[in-house]
Amino acid sequence: MLLIILVLTAAQIMPALSWDWSILGNLFGSKPEEPETVPALWLGYVPTVHSIDPVVLDKLYAPNFENMKFKLIKFGSWKDLLEALRSSTIQGASLPAALDLQAVEEGVPLQIVAKSQRHGSALIVANDVVSIGDLKGQKVAVDELASTHTILLYRAFGNDTNLGGIQLVVMDPQEMAPALSRGDIRGYVADQYIGAEDVLTGKAKWLRRSQDVWKNETCCVLTLNKDFITKYPKAVQELTDGYVGSGFFIDKNHNMTVPTVGDQIPIDKKIMDECFKWGVSYASLRPTKTDLAYLYDSLVKLKILKGTLDINDTLNTTFISRTYKNNDLLAPCG
């Protein structure tokens, strides 16, 4: 039954078939174009709830791709995924925007073509923390210095480059909740799934959600090798259509999200339901230059990144603009 519903949903979201204009060309004697080579596209991801969309894409859309040979590749860490991008072992990835910008600074030829989700993070604190000012002088954890999580703290403290006087520490997300329980830290910024589990068990509370401090934050993104984008625009358009459609599917079918991706991303439905209540969304995935530039400039002000990029070269909205324009069902999200 699940497979039937998935197929029907995909059929509803997929753009309408267009005319095969080559037939008309043949009628008037024009020479048929040589068929474009079908490329292989290996897309990397790390199994977190911020990477649900590529898994849905793999199950819902990839079996029907006509313009590429698609393969979804799972990595155990962002470090391993970034190394694969550097070596061109994979042609694209779903990953945090800040890490993408860091990789481009290092010379990896990437362009962002879509967001992965919105409103997906939160500042989680000990139950006795009343206000943001209570964190001054205290240890607060993030998973990476180069991250939207760091910038959420930066904004929460009024764009203060001293981050309100907190002690910022880098910690594996899986260690954050135990560290908070032990009192080793007083708070952490992480994806809502990690925070929601702590809140549901009564061990902590959320003090700020990402949308409370940065409504249009750019967190995770879909990024592709620039050479691949140039050579295979049909494949990129097909991928973008499916990616946006996957996010739309998630937002419209919360109850199906966990059974759809559970074999590749272990998720507790109760915790994921709490994330949806907090406002995490996988629709409206168009990235903007303004928000991406703010993220980059803020990371530069905090001396986490160097400031050597032309942000225009790191963003390509051509394909996602077509996705929203050409599909009546998706257009309201774009």
Among the ranges given (22-31, 163-172, 250-259), the one the predictor scored with the smallest mean pLDDT: 22-31
Mean pLDDT, residues 151-167: 97
- 95 class by beta-carbon count within 10 Å (0-12 exposed, 13-18 middle, 19+ buried): buried
pLDDT recorded at residue 42 = 98
Distances (CA, A) of 57 to 54, 238, 246, 261, 291: 5, 11, 6, 10, 25
DSSP β-bridge partners for residue 70: 41
Q: What's the pLDDT band for 273 if we cut at 50, 70, 90? A: very high
Give the pLDDT confidence of 160-178 residue by residue, as tens digits. Answer: 999 999 999 999 999 999 9
pLDDT recorded at residue 9 = 54
Mean pLDDT, residues 272-296: 95
Write out the two tokens for 101.
């910008």
**Domain 36-118+218-333 in this protein, CATH class:** alpha beta
Give the CATH superfamily of 121-213: Periplasmic binding protein-like II (3.40.190.10)
pLDDT recorded at residue 28 = 42
pLDDT recorded at residue 29 = 45
Dist. CA 92–CA 100, nearest whole Å? 10
Closest residue by Cα to residue 228 from 105, 106, 90: 90
The pTM of this model reads 0.88
User: CB–CB of 177/192 below 8 Å?
Assistant: no
Q: What angle do CA 91, 19, 232 make, to 5 degrees?
A: 15
| Residue range(s) in the chain whose domain bears CATH number 3.40.190.10 | 36-118+218-333, 121-213
Give the pLDDT confidence of 227-240 residue by residue, as tens digits. Answer: 999 999 999 999 99
User: CB–CB of 299/305 below 8 Å?
Assistant: yes
pLDDT recorded at residue 6 = 53
pLDDT recorded at residue 120 = 94
pLDDT recorded at residue 329 = 75
β-strand pairing of 40-45 with 167-170: unpaired
Dist. CA 189–CA 96, nearest whole Å? 14
Give the pLDDT confidence of 88-128 residue by residue, as tens digits. Answer: 999 999 999 999 999 999 999 999 999 999 999 999 999 99
